[in-house]
């Protein structure tokens, strides 16, 4: 696992976008694994800006998202489908049929999980973007989730519901469950970029840098993957003592 230290959110976003753009320029039919939340929005802004300025094309690109809340329609402003449309898809030349997100409104959620996992295997993800939860979750794989998991339905930790309540009118409106790629699904990606910005991620990044593999710290599963880059800003690296491992930009 390689750590790259950046100064702030802007630098993190700029660098993360460079990884995605480089991937697409190298292979125009790339499969990009994408995340939602506060962390990647700046990355998507940089991708959009580059698309406008340099005409990087996403016509042949396919995307797969990590997760979606159970029970929300794609037109619900708090759904991850809505988030992705607004923050990225509408602003680049990607084809709607090439953007994949689990269907949180499926009648048969188990069948939807199997369908999504099958799709991931068929497409093969070239590069997966990840944020990290304060409790170390990746996707919505909460502490204690087996590292062997494929796409599945998960009950959200109360701390995650509270952390995400800022996107809803009230905590009660935050769904109790979600469909998420499993930890094993994530580990199948050829390359993984994990982003972390801000003091509230500092404990999680300290634990990740300790290199201890622990089922109750899901992001530690990434130590089992050969090609992971963590891009973290100064605040997220506050408690990180392994500074000799850091590459700075
Ligand atoms: C989002 C996702 C989550 C977030 C994590 C951090 O698709 O899977 O793991 O990456 O909860 O969220 P933010 O970026 O809002 O701090």
In tens, the pLDDT along 6-27 reads 999 999 999 999 999 999 999 9
Residue 36, both tokens: 């939602």
Name which residue sits closest to atom 10 of ligand 1, judged by CA: 131
In tens, the pLDDT along 81-110 reads 999 999 999 999 999 999 999 999 999 999
Whether residue 39 has its Cβ less than 6 Å from ligand 1: yes
Phi–psi pair at 4, nearest 5 degrees? -115, 125
pLDDT of residue 243: 61
Domain with residues 2-153+180-248, CATH architecture: 3-Layer(aba) Sandwich (3.40)
pLDDT of residue 246: 73
Active site residue 142: yes
CA angle 133, 138, 141 (to 5 degrees): 100
What mean pLDDT, rounded, does the chain reach? 96
Mean pLDDT of 214-224: 97
CA angle 94, 153, 114 (to 5 degrees): 65
Active site residue 135: yes
Mean pLDDT of 203-229: 96
The active-site residue, picked from 50, 112, 142, 233, is 142
Query: What residue segments make up the domains of the chain, in order of their start?
Result: 2-153+180-248
In tens, the pLDDT along 30-43 reads 999 999 999 999 99
Active site residue 137: yes
CA distance 85 to 74: 9
Using most ligand atoms within 8 A of CB, pick from 79, 131, 143, 185 the residue to mutate for ligand 1: 131
pLDDT of residue 83: 98
pTM of structure: 0.96
CA angle 181, 184, 186 (to 5 degrees): 55
Q: 41-54 vs 9-26: helix axis angle to the nearest 10?
A: 50
CA distance 104 to 71: 5
The active-site residue, picked from 67, 112, 126, 233, is 67
């Amino acid at each position: 696992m390689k750590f790259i230290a950046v100064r702030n959110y802007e630098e993190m976003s700029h660098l993360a976008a460079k990884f995605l753009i480089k991937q697409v320029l190298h292979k125009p039919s790339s499969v990009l694994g994408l995340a939602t939340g506060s962390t990647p929005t700046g990355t998507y802004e940089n991708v959009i800006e580059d698309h406008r300025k340099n005409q990087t094309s996403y016509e042949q690109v396919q995307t797969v998202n990590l997760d979606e809340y159970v029970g929300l329609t794609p037109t619900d402003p708090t759904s991850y489908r809505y988030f992705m449309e607004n923050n990225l898809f509408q602003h680049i030349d990607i084809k709607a049929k090439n953007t994949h997100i689990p269907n949180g409104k499926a009648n048969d959620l188990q069948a939807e999980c199997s369908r999504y996992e099958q799709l991931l295997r068929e497409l093969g993800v070239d590069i997966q973007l990840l944020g990290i939860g304060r409790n170390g979750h990746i996707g919505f794989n909460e502490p204690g989730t087996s590292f062997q998991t494929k796409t599945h339905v998960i009950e959200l930790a109360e701390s995650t519901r509270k952390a995400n309540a800022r996107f809803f009118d009230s905590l009660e409106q935050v769904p109790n469950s979600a469909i998420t790629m499993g930890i094993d699904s994530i580990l199948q990606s050829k390359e993984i970029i994990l982003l972390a910005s801000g003091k509230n991620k500092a404990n999680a990044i300290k634990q990740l840098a300790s290199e201890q593999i622990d089922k109750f710290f899901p992001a530690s599963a990434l130590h089992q993957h050969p090609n992971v880059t963590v891009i973290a800003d100064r605040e997220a690296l506050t408690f990180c003592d392994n500074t000799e491992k850091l590459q700075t930009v």
